[in-house]
Structure 1
């Protein structure tokens, strides 16, 4: 055989394993969240495990995942999902059941982070947010949010039934432990909408996480509901915003593996890596969401930890969002909300 041809063939054989390096597609909600994940999870995983991460974004829609699961043509491996979508997708067979022996000890995670098809990534909260420079006194909860005489001006709320109905009942004096029990009754739903009627002309509805803080900075609203991570990022940029954690609602985002992924074992390795305390520490330092691994807390600087939803002081008067409630009642309540809002 010609020596030059033999050399080319040998180089090709040597290069083969390099070009065939393992790859994994991880899909998240994008923005600052994805940037933090790239820093804390994707790049270190690639460096340590020699696995190339293809990062993609989506807005949480399940349609594409359902098509992949139904057809067996799976182009996504790991996806970030919110709690209701995780529970619904798991029950519908859209996600792979997880082998927790490959991921970690369940007792190391907060209970809500552990499920058959998902592993909690982080905890986020929706909080009452305001600019103390523009108010005579700090609002103490949702009852003050509803007090347009004491705090005149527009206030921002997320356009949708979820969170909005809970906040209305909290403002009406319902104990946080009783919110979902009451909201599961016709009487409770009517009570929430009657409460919303009181401030309907004063509400400015937001639909993206950036809007409420833009409005607060511009003086378009005097207070608003907002995502805690967005508020802390705005604080770091010099805004004087404050968060009132009393009556806040928190939830988790989770990792899940799309049904039919040919890389389930590799995907579980990635989830295990991303769920380790040191990786979650890096994530929390990049974006202020609470870690799901309880051993992370001790690694986080106190100045950072005090601004997280998982801080004991912040959790004290907070309420977990009831994902199963919204699976059971979400469609009906969203329809009723839209009809009410459009009146």
Structure 2
């Protein structure tokens, strides 16, 4: 799911498969869980991974990746699946599910919310899919180094105006968000962006806007790379994930966020098909997406839990910094 300002594009809500916890007489397998690294993976380890290891006796091996489904496709089709659970962008989870690369998931097997609300009603719209279970909702924003600019940028349009706001920029190496932002900064109403991107003229228009800053762009793939570009002075502003910037600010970095037309997104847990430990993977996903686990993770990074019951457990101070609290 992505939203720009107040405009929302909802994608399919639906389902997760289940399994009992591992019996004590049976040795639990080691699970390889794939995520996004840096402050985000740290929030998962502190939020629920350590608790799950203690509860289940399962060792969790956390490894980093930069997104996409190519590696999942390769492993599944070769019947050589090494990844047991993957933290996926929503659109990748939907695509992988359509290709038969992920295990289908039944929402009826997910735990109820802490207030007794069935999971299918507790999860926010668009965060349950046939093969994925939402964890946290974040936002791609523009961040800048407040100590490196003479005049602070205030809007998305400022990012695309190198004359008034000189200096190198960072962008994620992907068309998602970049093309939408380019059109919005060029005056296109957010509710017409995808209609325009369905045309050759619209795509060309977006690239013309990007061409204005192309010589200044430094590309990043992992969320920590965007933060590093700012911290090392390689750029004065960059697209970034809001939670990574909040974590950097907690370390004392003078970074600021522009929420204008932030692109909200949801990450989901998916389980690659043909894996050796599907039942254990399902048990992990159930634990990781419980009310308590999602609420605890959100205390370590400023991303919004995908469960209503988890949001209710957060303090007002934490809730005010979540992307779901921004206009």
Distance (whole Å) between structure 2 residues aligned to residue 228 and residue 177 of structure 1: 23
Distance change >3 Å, CA 216–CA 54, structure 1 → 2? closer
TM-score by length of 1: 0.78
Q: How far off its partner does 1:208 sit? A: 3.8
- The residue aligned with 1:95 is 102
Q: C-alpha offsets along residues 88-144 of structure 1, whole Å, 9 cap, x if unaligned?
A: 211111111112211142111111211111001112221111233444543222111
* TM alignment of 1:263-274, pairs within 5 A: 263-274=277-288
Other structure's SS at 1:295 match? helix
Match of 2:58 among 52, 60, 72: 52
- Is contact 1:26–1:78 with CA below 8 Å preserved after alignment? yes
Q: C-alpha offsets along residues 47-85 of structure 1, whole Å, 9 cap, x if unaligned?
A: 23x331332424235344334433545443322222222
Q: Which moved more, 1:194-203 or 1:81-90?
A: 194-203
1:141 correspondence with 2:147: no
Distance change >3 Å, CA 56–CA 212, structure 1 → 2? closer
- The residue aligned with 1:251 is 265
* TM alignment of 1:113-124, pairs within 5 A: 113-124=127-138
Q: How far off its partner does 1:304 sit? A: 2.2
1:36 correspondence with 2:43: yes
Distance change >3 Å, CA 270–CA 18, structure 1 → 2? closer
Higher relative contact order (CA 8 A, sep 6+): 2
> Which structure has greater helix proportion?
1
* TM alignment of 1:224-235, pairs within 5 A: 224-235=238-249
Unaligned 5+ runs, structure 2: 1-22, 112-118
Other structure's SS at 1:129 match? strand
Distance change >3 Å, CA 166–CA 20, structure 1 → 2? same
Distance (whole Å) between structure 2 residues aligned to residue 57 and residue 216 of structure 1: 24
- The residue aligned with 2:115 is none
Distance (whole Å) between structure 2 residues aligned to residue 300 and residue 162 of structure 1: 31
Q: How far off its partner does 1:167 sit? A: 1.5
Q: Which moved more, 1:212-221 or 1:137-146?
A: 212-221
CA RMSD of aligned residues (A): 2.4
Larger Rg: 1
- The residue aligned with 2:201 is 187
Q: How far off its partner does 1:160 sit? A: 3.2
How many residues are matched? Answer: 296
Match of 2:29 among 23, 30, 53: 23
Match of 1:285 among 299, 311, 319: 299
- Is contact 2:52–2:287 with CA below 8 Å preserved after alignment? yes
- The residue aligned with 2:86 is 79
Q: How far off its partner does 1:153 sit? A: 2.2
Q: How far off its partner does 1:215 sit? A: 3.3
- The residue aligned with 1:161 is 175
Distance (whole Å) between structure 2 residues aligned to residue 81 and residue 261 of structure 1: 17
Distance change >3 Å, CA 19–CA 111, structure 1 → 2? same
